[in-house]
Amino acid sequence: MPPGTLALNTNTQPGVRGRSRIPLIVGYGLALVCLIWVLRDFHLVKELHALANLDWRWVVLGMAFDVLSYGIQALRWKLLLTPLGKVRLTRSIRAVFAGLFANLIFPLRPGELLRSYLLADSEDIKLGRVLGSVGVERFIDLVVATASLATVSLLIELPRRFQRVADTLGIVTLVLLSIVVLLVLYLEIKLGSAPGPETARRRLPGKAMAILTDLHAIGTAPSFYPAVLASVMIPFCQVLGLWAVARADALPLSFLAVVVVLLIINLGVSLPNAPANVGAYQAFCVLGLTIFQIDKSAATGFSFLAFLVLTFPMVFLGFAALLRSGMSLKSMREKVSGMSAQPLKSG
């Protein structure tokens, strides 16, 4: 689900402190505003009664699908990095879940940087290259999300204002996709016989061109196509997870409606956020549900239920992954802070 706003250690590095204060204030401020809006007119006792009637079989199934989606994300990451180095799937899984854990306990989503560091360190690949693969992930996710939204909008009726947002997102994605295609064509012409990344770097000097060459290697490798297929399976599993939780809560929501709700949530949590996306997740979940005439109080109850159910496994799996990586909470914080204060090299 796009990402700097990653500096966390505000006690030891004055330069980092100056950069991180505004995003932190914005993130926590948005979370507070979102929670105030969500909890207005919320009937706690009524929702507690509804909680007692949960179908826990659907809850467990929802957890399983959500965990599976991150396992597939780790597989996709391994596939994208194949032309740049050998990556073990177990190391990729460990890095992904450790990054998720970082997002749960720290603001401003530092997990992308942390998981990139862990994989680069364990697999001996330059950090800049790994971060480039994360950028490719995010671009693919944007294309998949836009295509999904366009497909769903043809099958179910959406509010006019939401349709305008979808159209704008589609236009932006098409422009970005066109730019990427032109860059790939330019590199194909420039590189001629499509040599490996190291040979290409010698033929195309310069830092920017080195980054583009790595991205070209990722996008033209045979492993890119199964990575795209995995990119479709990731949101599909996440939709199944959220849909299963809706079934557990007896919420009258179709599968296609859940697709829209998940897209809205993912859009909302991409903004500067408090730890674990608290506030933003609930607000955008409620916003998505009210599109389908779900009562706001019921939508609020479901937003907290889905948040807890889908976050619970990540706490344990993420903490276990962090320990397996040899890091503690303190060393994780120091590492992310130190990396964000330094310019990155692509290798």
Task: Give the chain's end-to-end CA distance (angstroms, integer).
Answer: 27
- Within-domain flag for 8: no
pLDDT tens string 106-158: 888 888 999 999 999 999 999 889 999 999 999 999 999 998 888 888 888 88
Indicate if the pLDDT at residue 281 is higher than 90.
yes
- 73 burial via Cβ count (<10 Å: 0-12, 13-18, 19+): buried
Confidence of residue 17 (pLDDT cuts 50, 70, 90): very low
- Within-domain flag for 7: no
- Within-domain flag for 53: yes
Range of the domain at 206: 14-340
Q: Quick one: pLDDT at residue 336?
A: 67
Quick one: how many helices (H) and strands (E) in the chain? 14, 0
Please report, as a single letter, which amino acid is at residue 129: R
Average pLDDT over residues 183-211: 62
Nearest to 301 by CA among 30, 53, 84: 53
Q: Quick one: pLDDT at residue 330?
A: 82
Joined together, the tokens standing for residue 157 give 């009726």
Q: Quick one: pLDDT at residue 101?
A: 94
- Within-domain flag for 3: no
Angle of CA points 160, 166, 170, to nearest 5°? 145
Please report, as a single letter, which amino acid is at residue 256: L
Q: Which residue has the tokens 């296609």?
A: 256
- Within-domain flag for 70: yes
Q: Quick one: pLDDT at residue 13?
A: 39
Under DSSP, the state recorded for 241 is H
Q: Is 345 helix (H, G, I), strand (E, B) or coil?
A: coil
CA atoms within 13 A on the CB side of 292: 19
- Contact between 324 and 97 under an 8 Å Cβ cutoff? The reply is no
- Contact between 235 and 262 under an 8 Å Cβ cutoff? The reply is yes
Q: Quick one: pLDDT at residue 207?
A: 66
- Within-domain flag for 6: no
Q: How far apart are CA 74 and CA 82, in angstroms?
A: 13
- Within-domain flag for 9: no
Confidence of residue 8 (pLDDT cuts 50, 70, 90): very low
- Within-domain flag for 2: no
Q: How far apart are CA 216 and CA 183, in angstroms?
A: 9
Number of domains within the chain: 1
Nearest to 2 by CA among 173, 141, 102: 141
CA atoms within 13 A on the CB side of 302: 27
Largest separation between any pair of C-alpha atoms in the chain: 68
Q: How far apart are CA 200 and CA 187, in angstroms?
A: 10
Q: Is 102 helix (H, G, I), strand (E, B) or coil?
A: helix
Q: Quick one: pLDDT at residue 162?
A: 80
pLDDT tens string 303-334: 999 999 999 999 999 999 999 998 887 888 78
